[in-house]
Amino acid sequence: MLETLVSQLLDPFRIGLILFLFLTALRTRAAMGLATPLAVGVLFVAILLPLTTGANAATDNAAKLTAMACGIVSNAIILGCFISAWAVWTRVRQ
């Protein structure tokens, strides 16, 4: 399970999806808020990637569910890094 988590944390496609999810949420936060779109996006990416990439080769449902659960954790970690960087950036600009 740790190998899956590390693999997902280093996946450039996942990092890109979370980055652009964050940027889109920042642009639409006046109308949509920030927490709900980010939470739904983290779940969406965590479910989408194991079903559409090489992890789909695993026919075992337990392996897919493990990949999705690790995906939620890794997406939250990646998003936390982006939110932290954004908070530092906004403080430095003030």
Q: What is the pLDDT of residues 66-84, one digit of tens each?
A: 889 999 999 999 999 999 9
Q: Is 72:49 a contact under the CB 8 Å cutoff?
A: no
Does 74 or 56 have the greater pLDDT score? Answer: 74
> How many residues appear in the chain?
94
60: three-class secondary structure by DSSP: coil
The pTM of this model reads: 0.88
- The rounded mean pLDDT for the chain is 90
